């Protein structure tokens, strides 16, 4: 296996999948990804309790090389560069999956000679692709981590792209010294678009950034600068990015928070509807506010497992176990084969979370771990006899009263 052959294979695969078009194909062919990946990367180890263990190029070059040209993200830094000896826990920098990079660059629609601002230099590979397209002297990239800046500068210089401007700083402030920019692209997730990015985009320019929240990743935001201090656009492809360091919600080890549940119950609302159904999950996540983290724990069979909801600050939690396929169009069809379709409701514990508003106007403290405050009256069940079923509804008998703040109308969705 040669790295050149692997790079060619990756490009061919991306083109065949429709992820990479003619506009960026030459850049992907000419800019080697492996030259921007550090010698030590990190992989999740289930044997180590989900910790991130190092994979070193000098001790396992074959595996390292395969990672470099897989269509997957590569974790290049954990715990802000200071992992404990037993292994890292939080991914704090990575190089994105090539298909994601290609999708975002296509949305950016950059042309030779355009001035581009990138937020989040990371390894420098994305900046290198931009430099190949528009010219190295036209690319400015901002990175908050000084160590990553050193690495990105070195990699860019080694690739002959030393004219790229790499700045250490808070990317949410942009970089006014080189403004205005024809294009602005963020490779870090944002909850709201910093106005500095809009202000530093030239009239008619374009801004591309992934929206972020810890519950569910809403997708890629593409905005056009209107020339009057505003920008407008649309939300498209679902993408997953880590958030800015200021907005980071820590990864949670369930065992560190979870205790005995206050109450358990059952519901016919399958977690796919609110956990992985994009439209609903996006709306929920954007309105929850910062702090609630959704995590999926795989079960023993495909599609089965546990959905966890955590508020690390208050150590509040809820969980839903998914063990079977839900009825597709109500109980009638499911009952045709004879079944019992019951989904455990969220079971909760821990401290009462801070008061945050939900889409229904209920505070997070009323909604989070609802199984600990509400009792399921009835559930939809399918009897063991085909053709017979009871169509019940899920309802809460009593809930704690909401605060006045929680009863106010929910805020507008940021970025919508």
Name the residues annotated as catalytic. 96
- Provide the sign of the torsion angle of the four alpha carbons 379, 407, 276, 346, taken in this order: negative
CA neighbor of 189 nearest in space, from 169, 206, 166, 172: 172
Other CB atoms within 10 A of residue 373 CB: 18
What's the angle, vertex CA 338, arms to CA 332 and CA 343, rounded to 5?
75
Q: Residues 334, 335, 337, 339: what is their CA dihedral angle, to the nearest 10 degrees?
A: 90
CA distance 311 to 293: 6
CA neighbor of 317 nearest in space, from 406, 254, 363: 254
Give the residues across from 347 on adjacent strands: 319
Give the residues across from 190 on adjacent strands: 211
Axis-axis angle for helices 98-108, 3-16 (nearest 10): 60
Q: What separation in angstroms does the CA of 202 have from each of 199, 220, 290?
A: 8, 20, 31
Whether the CB-CB separation of 60 and 50 falls below 8 Å is answered with no
Axis-axis angle for helices 98-108, 125-134 (nearest 10): 40
CA distance 302 to 287: 30
């Amino acid at each position: 296996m040669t790295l050149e052959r692997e790079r060619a294979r990756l490009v061919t695969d991306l083109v065949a999948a429709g992820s990479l078009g003619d506009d960026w194909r030459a850049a992907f062919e000419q800019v080697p990804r492996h030259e921007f990946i550090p010698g030590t990367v990190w992989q999740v180890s289930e044997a180590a309790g989900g910790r991130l263990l190092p994979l070193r190029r000098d001790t396992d070059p074959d595996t390292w090389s395969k990672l470099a040209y897989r269509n997957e993200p590569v974790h290049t830094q954990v715990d802000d560069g200071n992992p404990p000896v037993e292994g890292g826990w939080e991914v704090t920098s990575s190089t994105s999956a090539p298909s994601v990079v290609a999708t975002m660059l296509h949305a950016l629609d950059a042309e030779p000679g355009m001035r581009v601002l990138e937020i989040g230099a990371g390894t420098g590979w994305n900046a290198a692709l931009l430099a190949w397209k528009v010219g190295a002297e036209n690319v400015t990239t901002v990175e908050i981590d000084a160590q990553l800046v050193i690495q990105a500068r070195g990699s860019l210089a080694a690739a002959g792209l030393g004219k790229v401007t790499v700045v250490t700083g808070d990317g949410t402030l942009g970089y006014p010294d080189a403004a205005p920019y024809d294009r602005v692209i963020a490779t870090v997730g944002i909850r709201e678009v910093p106005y500095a990015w809009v202000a530093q985009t030239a009239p008619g320019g374009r801004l591309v950034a992934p929206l972020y929240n810890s519950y569910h990743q809403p997708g890629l935001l593409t905005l056009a600068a209107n020339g009057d201090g505003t920008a407008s656009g649309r939300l498209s492809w679902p993408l997953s990015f880590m958030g800015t360091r200021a907005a980071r919600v820590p990864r949670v080890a369930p065992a560190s928070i979870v205790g005995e549940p206050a109450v358990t119950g059952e519901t016919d609302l399958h977690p796919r509807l609110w956990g992985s159904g994009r439209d609903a999950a996006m709306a929920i996540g954007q309105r929850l506010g910062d702090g609630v983290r959704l995590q999926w724990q795989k079960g023993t069979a495909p599609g089965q497992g546990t959905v966890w909801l955590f508020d690390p600050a208050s150590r509040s939690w809820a969980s839903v176990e998914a063990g079977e396929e839900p009825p597709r169009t109500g109980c009638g069809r499911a009952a045709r084969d004879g079944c019992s379709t019951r989904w455990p409701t969220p079971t909760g514990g821990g401290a009462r979370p801070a008061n945050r508003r939900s889409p229904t106007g209920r505070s997070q403290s009323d909604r989070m771990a609802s199984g600990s405050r509400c009792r399921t009256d009835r559930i939809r069940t399918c009897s063991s006899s085909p053709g017979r079923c009871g169509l019940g509804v899920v309802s809460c008998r009593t809930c704690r009263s909401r605060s006045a703040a929680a009863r106010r109308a929910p805020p507008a969705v940021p970025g919508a």
